[in-house]
Amino acid sequence: MERDAEFAHKKAERATLRVHLREKYRLPKSEQDENAIQMAGDDVDVPEELRKMVDEDTVEEEEKDSILGQIQNIQNMDMDTIKEKAQATFSEMKEAAEQKCTVM
């Protein structure tokens, strides 16, 4: 009996983590996870190890989204690719301006 209760509690902890991640990434809810949490008694927290993993992922995502992360991304690209993208963007802007202004 004790083993079953411990197993149900572990399942509920994992379900709690999945619910948290679904909320974070705006994914549809899972009735199965909600049922597992209710069966364990609704007093379930995410285990400390999993919480640390989620926090580390959040920090990494924030770094990638920051300006410094974007600059590091640019440093990893080769200059030819950057040059091609810049020229393509400039050409698109020039064409759009020519379509709007007949004087040019």
List pLDDT tens digits, range 15-71: 888 887 788 778 888 888 888 878 877 677 777 777 777 777 777 776 666 676 667
Q: Give the model's pLDDT for residue 65.
A: 67
Examine residue 99 and state whether it is found in any structural domain, yes or no: yes
Q: Is 104 a residue whose pLDDT tops 60?
A: no
* Contact (CB, 8 A) for 5 and 39: no
| Cα 17 to Cα 6: distance, rounded to the nearest angstrom | 17
Range of the domain at 86: 77-104
Q: Is 7 a residue whose pLDDT tops 70?
A: yes
Confidence of residue 97 (pLDDT cuts 50, 70, 90): confident
| Cα 37 to Cα 14: distance, rounded to the nearest angstrom | 9
Q: Give the model's pLDDT for residue 30.
A: 85
What number is the average pLDDT over the span 89-93?
A: 89
Return the percent helix, strand and coil in the chain, to nearest 5: 80, 0, 20
Examine residue 71 and state whether it is found in any structural domain, yes or no: no
Examine residue 21 and state whether it is found in any structural domain, yes or no: yes
Do residue 50 and residue 91 come from a single domain? no
| Total domain count, the chain | 2
Do residue 49 and residue 94 come from a single domain? no
